[in-house]
Chain A
Amino acid sequence: MLETNIKPSCLKPEIQAITYAGSGDFVHLYMQPPAWGYRPGQFVMVRPGEWGNDPVWPRPFSICEKTSDSLRLFIQVVGRGTSLISRLQPGSTLDMWGPLGNGFSFDPDVPLLILAGGMGIAPFIGLCKRHPHPGRINFLFGHRMGIECYPFAELPQKVNKTHLNQQTAGDIVSFQKVLEKRIRDFSGRGRILACGPSPFLKVVRKYSIESGADTWISLENRMACGVGACLGCVTGTTTGEYLQTCTHGPVFRADEVVFEEDDRLLSAKPHL
């Protein structure tokens, strides 16, 4: 599944359609397809043309799927930017650049365990649909909102898939237990790919390191440029460096990165 035509460019595509799933907060954005190919796990930066001077930043989104007809993003409204994007109309244009980042790398002949949390399902839709042997994919999906909000049903029939809803603290604990068991059982049998919110990835990382699993996680970080220039999206690594999530990632080997944000915030002291 090696794409050859991956050369990033900056385009101004038109929105073809916006559809909602489950609620107005879950948005499928379809736009004119770019000429480039992409690797699942890569992302694009999107900034509606009508934003003018505000908001300043574009927003990064995983590429959900690309067909000959359209490029599709799956977006949850979580703040001002995504809220404005969810209200765009077909025909309006976007500034969009990509494909960015490294994406997931895997051998299609080797079994995969995919672990997705919430919006982390987005890059795996295209991945599973394009995979030559979907029967070799095991898919575990954890979600907080109703399953109808997520494109889970689109996964190919042959994918061995499970989804677990977490609404209470008890659900989260039992989901973590399932995660632990799945990671330990799968370790040594193939590659694990994970995408989701940081607390979820922390758990995946922990059990992967403990069991020696070959796990790759895709990080979500706030980004301003997406091309490696602003240094606002860096992630700490076990070698003590800060690497740009946008260009060195967003996919990292689970034992390569450290999650430090929570601890750091607690001890924040001004430098002035």
Chain B
Amino acid sequence: MDLGVTLGALRLKNPIMTASGTFGYGLEFTSYGRLEELGAIVVKGLSLQPRKGNPMPRIAETPCGMLNAIGLQNIGVEKFLQEKLPRLPWKETPVVVNLYAQKAEEFADLAAVLGSEPGVGALEVNISCPNVRQGGLQFGQNPDAAVRVVEMVKKNAGQKPVIVKLSPNVADIKVIAGAVESAGADIISLINTIGGMAVDIRTRKPCLANAFGGLSGPAIKPVALKMVYEVCSTVKIPVIGLGGITSARDILEFILVGASAVQIGTATFTRPDKVFTLVNELRELVTQLEIEDWARFRGSLET
């Protein structure tokens, strides 16, 4: 079977994408696999200006998962466009730029810069980072604010598909999903990390300098699966599922509940060639289960 998927105007040769913040700018992984074989490369969240990020320690290991509070350290959009993007195989594999800003206007400015770049395949609007003081969640938890950001990004993004990445840290994910769809989002990706905390009883201090962080890894997969299922039942636009995926079986679970594609995040830390090997594993499992085409399998969960 052809593993290719179509998410509106975004065509992927397979449904496997990297997750922002776990794959650097892509170039860090060229020793471990061929970027051309991935469905899409999603790069670290970029802001208009470089960001230093949060103080250390920024990461903590937890059962079947990890907490992070990186704080969106990044080199800034200009440096990315000059130094990184030209070295990525964007003609073979769409490069999705994840964008972060503190104000709706800055999101719009970022979209304007990226909207005319031939090497950018799509924009992923990060309204869900739990680790920054401003921006991020203040948009992701408020439907009106989310709508405003999405409308402004869409206006400036030209022909680029706009993905909106949602936070699980909300009372009802369907409300925010419906809001961003109505505002013109082309695709929804979810879930970003779940707010969490770890403390040290000997030092009596939080394990992260930021005290709170975002939980990721296999521990959050059931939460992600439920939310992806709920959102797929609510919106008509394509959905990208992520949260704790480590195997081809996990990928099929997300597609079964309605996702069109998936992102691989924390699993990349368990082995840097993980996302590349998953492409082959998925191909084998699809053949073994005799899945004939995505359209019939996607969302075919019997409830």
Residues of A within 8 A of B (CB): 7-10, 47, 51, 53-58, 81, 95, 97, 221-222, 224-236, 240-242, 247, 260-261, 264-265, 268-272
User: In whole angstroms, how far apart are the Cα atoms of A10 and B276 in the complex?
Assistant: 12
Q: Which residue of A lies closest to B69 (CB)?
A: A271
Residues of A within 8 A of B55 (CB): 260, 264
Q: Measured between C-beta atoms, what is the minimum distance from A248 to chain B in Å? A: 12
Contact (A56, B56) CB under 8 Å given A10-B273, A229-B22, A229-B23: no
Given A97-B272, A222-B59, A265-B203 in contact, is the A270-B211 Cβ separation under 8 Å? yes
**Count, chain B residues at interface, CB 8 A:** 51
Closest chain-B Cβ to A167's Cβ sits at a distance in Å of 21
Given contacts A56-B269, A268-B211, contact A232 B58 (CB under 8 A): yes
Asked whether, in the complex, the Cβ of A272 is within 8 Å of the Cβ of B130, the reply is yes
Best-buried of B54, B59, B203, B246 by chain A (most CB within 10 Å): B59
CB-CB under 8 A from B203, the residues of chain A are 265
- Nearest-Cβ distance from residue B81 to partner chain A, whole angstroms: 19
CB pair B271–A97 under 8 Å, yes or no, is yes
- Once the chains bind, are A55 and B61 in contact (CB under 8 Å)? yes
22 CB < 8 A contacts A-B? A47-B270, A54-B64, A56-B218, A56-B270, A57-B61, A97-B32, A224-B269, A227-B24, A227-B31, A228-B24, A228-B28, A229-B268, A230-B21, A230-B22, A230-B68, A231-B44, A240-B52, A260-B55, A268-B210, A270-B212, A271-B131, A271-B211
Bound CA span A56–B195, Å? 18
Q: Hey, which chain B residues are within 8 Å of A97, CB to CB?
A: 32, 271-272
Q: Which positions in B face A, CB cutoff 8 Å?
A: 21-24, 28-29, 31-32, 44, 52-59, 61, 63-66, 68-71, 73, 130-133, 137, 195, 203, 205-206, 208-212, 217-218, 246, 266, 268-273
Q: Is the interface of B mostly helix, strand, loop or mixed?
A: loop
What residues on A are CB-neighbors of B195 within 8 Å?
272
Q: Which residue of A lies closest to B50 (CB)?
A: A241
Q: Which of A9, A236, A242, A271 has a CB less than 8 Å from the CB of B133?
A: A271
Which residue, of A9, A261, A269, A272, has the highest number of chain B Cβ atoms within 10 A?
A272
A161 to B244 alpha-carbon distance, docked (Å): 49
Q: Is the CB of A56 within 8 A of B268?
A: no
Q: How far is the CA of A8 from the CA of B30 in the complex (A)?
A: 10
Whole-angstrom CA separation of A97 from B268 in the bound complex: 12
* Contact present for A234 and B58 (CB under 8 Å): yes
